[in-house]
């Protein structure tokens, strides 16, 4: 899968698994845009990762985004 991020056009969208919530998503590391279905990847349908995690009651205020994606519960499935 090689899809340019429709939000920022700066990076590729990657399929990743967020272990802390047990969910596989499609994510742009550059702008934090996240999609839940590969077929729905377009500008109008993204959700910021921090917004999604906030809805799941996971607070990133005590850690940075970079620290979070380096955590072992966050796994890139495809490059």
Domain boundaries, the chain: 3-76
Q: Which residues pair with 12 in a beta bridge?
A: 4
Q: Give the pLDDT score at 32.
A: 92
- Is there a contact between 4 and 64 (Cβ–Cβ < 8 Å)? no
Q: Give the pLDDT score at 62.
A: 57
Tell me the residue length of the chain: 79
Mean pLDDT per 10-residue section of the chain, whose length is 79 residues: 94 90 91 96 95 83 66 70
Q: Give the pLDDT score at 61.
A: 63
Q: What is the pTM of this model?
A: 0.83
Closest by alpha carbon to 31, among 50, 59, 55, 45?
Answer: 50
- Is there a contact between 13 and 3 (Cβ–Cβ < 8 Å)? yes
- Is there a contact between 36 and 1 (Cβ–Cβ < 8 Å)? no
Rounded CA-CA distance 36/38 in Å is 7
Q: Give the pLDDT score at 48.
A: 94
Backbone phi, then psi, for 25, in 5-degree steps?
A: -135, 175
Q: Give the pLDDT score at 22.
A: 86
Q: Give the pLDDT score at 35.
A: 97
């Amino acid at each position: 899968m090689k899809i340019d991020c429709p939000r920022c056009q700066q990076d590729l969208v990657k399929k990743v698994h967020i272990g802390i919530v047990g969910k596989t998503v499609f994510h742009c590391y550059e702008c934090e845009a996240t999609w839940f279905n590969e077929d729905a990847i377009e500008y109008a349908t993204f959700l910021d990762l921090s917004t999604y995690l906030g809805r799941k009651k996971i607070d990133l205020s005590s850690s940075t985004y970079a620290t979070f994606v380096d955590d072992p519960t966050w796994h890139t499935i495809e490059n």
